[in-house]
Structure 1
Amino acid sequence: MKTRDKIIQASIALFNEQGERNVTTNHIAAHLSISPGNLYYHFRNKEDIILSIYEEYARNLLLDTFPQVTSEVEPLDAIILYMDSVFQTTMKFRFFYSNLPVLLGKSPSLREKYVEVQHAIAERVSQLLVSLRTANIIIFEDEELVDMVSILRLINTFWVSFYQTQNIVNEINDSVFYQGVLKILVILRPYTTEASLPGLLKARDMYQQRYQDALYP
C-alpha cells in the first residue's frame, strides 16, 4: 500500500477511535512511524486528509450503496441491500456522522464536495423509491417523494449524532447502527402495500435480532 493510502486508512481508524478533533497530523505520523514531513509531502494539513477521506466515502456511497431493482434483484431485497450498504459505509466513516457540521464549517472545499455528493445521493434515493413503487412494494403520491427522501437521508446522516446526544454512554457500535436501520423500516411501513408487508416485517425481525445480538454479544 502506498504511503498516501496508508495515511488515509490510518486517519480513518484514528478519527473513528478517538474523535477527529482529538487527532493531529503528528498523531497520525507517529501512528504510522513516519516523519511529519513525510505526511506533509502527501497532504498539506488535516483538512486536506479529511477531504481525501470524504472522496473515498463518496465513492463508497455512490458506487456500492444503491442496488437496482431488476429481474435478478427482488424489490424487498433491494431495500435490504441498500440498508446494509448504508450501515457498512456509516460504520467505516462514522466520525463524519459524529461531527459533520463542525467538519463542514472548517473546510469550504469539503462543504462544496459534500453538497455536490448529497445532491447525487438524493437523486439515487428518489430513483430507488420510485422503482419500489413501480414494483408495488410501497405506495406514495408524487408530491410526497421529496419529503420521503429527505426523511430517509436525515436518519442516515444524523442518527449517530442524535444517539450521542441522548445517552450518557455514547459509544458507537453495531447496535447503534441497527437501531438506525429499524427507524428506516418504521418510516417505510405505512407506505408498504399489504402484499409486501410480510416481507418488510421479516426484515424488521431480522434487524431486531441483529440489534439484540450486537447489544448482548
Structure 2
Amino acid sequence: MASLSLFNHFGEPNVTTLQIADELNISPGNLYYHFKNKTEILNDLFGRFERQMLSLISAPDAEVSIDDYWIVLHLVFECIAEYQFLYKDLVNILQRYERIAPRFRKILNRKLAVTQSVLQRLKERHIIDATDAELAALAHNVVLTLTWWPSYDVVTAKLPQEMDLNRGIAQTISQVAPYLRASERAEVLALSREYLDSDPGAMQNRDVHAQE
C-alpha cells in the first residue's frame, strides 16, 4: 500500500494524491478513477486498520493465561506500528476527518473496556492485587500508553521515522508489573527486559512461535 507507506514516513498532511500516484507509477487520472480524493484513500486505510484492530481487542476468556495477554498486547502494538501515521497525528486527523473521529473513539472505548476486563479477570484469579480504583487508573494508563506511544516515541527516538515497538510494549508491561503476584511479576519483568534487549523482528518471531 503505497499511500500507507507515504503517510507513515512523511505524515498524512504532507502527502498529496500526486505523490501517491507517482509512487504507484500511475497517472493522477488513473488514481482518481479509484479514489476521488485523499479523504477516500484515508477512509479506505482506516477501514482496514479498524477491522484489524477490532479483531484483536475482544473480551478475554477467563482461563486465558497471562502470557496470552502479552501476545495480544504485542499484536496490538504491531497494528499501531503498521498504521502509525494515525497515532502520530491523531488530534489533527480526527479534527479534519469527521467521519473517522467517532469510529476511532469506538476503538478507544473498546481498548479501555477490554483492558478493564482483563485486569478484573486477573484480580479475580488473585494474579493481581489492587483496589478497584487502582485497577481503573491502571486501565486508563495502559490505554494512554497504547494511544500516545507513537507520538512520544517520535519525540524521544534517535531515528524519528522508526517507531520502537519493543520500548512501547516494555513500558506497558512495566505499568502492570507492580500489581502482580511475586512469581508473575518476576516473569513479566524478565519479559520486559527481553523486549528492551531484542530487536522487533526477534520478538515478533518469539510471539508467533508462542501461538503455534
**TM-score (norm: length of structure 1):** 0.82
Aligned 1:167-178 pairs, distance under 5 A: 169-173=159-163, 176-178=164-166
Superposed displacement of residue 38, structure 1 = 2.9
Aligned 1:66-215 pairs, distance under 5 A: 66=58, 68-69=60-61, 71=63, 73-74=64-65, 76-166=66-156, 169-173=159-163, 176-210=164-198
Query: Is the 1:104–1:111 Cα contact (8 Å) retained in structure 2?
Result: yes
SS in 2 for 1:171: coil
Unaligned 5+ runs, structure 2: 203-212
SS in 1 for 2:128: coil
Q: CA 1:144 to 1:19, structure 2 compared with 1: closer, same or farther past 3 Å?
A: same
1:11 aligns with 2:3: yes
Q: Deviations over 1:162-189 (max 9, x none)?
A: 122235642314xx22111111122112
Superposed displacement of residue 39, structure 1 = 2.3
Query: Is the 2:60–2:114 Cα contact (8 Å) retained in structure 1?
Result: no
Q: Deviations over 1:30-74 (max 9, x none)?
A: 222233233233323212221221221121111124583454x42
Superposed displacement of residue 109, structure 1 = 0.9
Q: Deviations over 1:141-172 (max 9, x none)?
A: 22333322211111111112112223564231
Superposed displacement of residue 82, structure 1 = 2.1
**TM-score (norm: length of structure 2):** 0.83
Poorly superposed stretches of 4+, deviation over 6 Å: none
Q: CA 1:168 to 1:148, structure 2 compared with 1: closer, same or farther past 3 Å?
A: same
Query: Is the 1:51–1:110 Cα contact (8 Å) retained in structure 2?
Result: yes
Unaligned 5+ runs, structure 1: 1-8
Q: CA 1:202 to 1:168, structure 2 compared with 1: closer, same or farther past 3 Å?
A: closer
Q: Percent identity?
A: 27
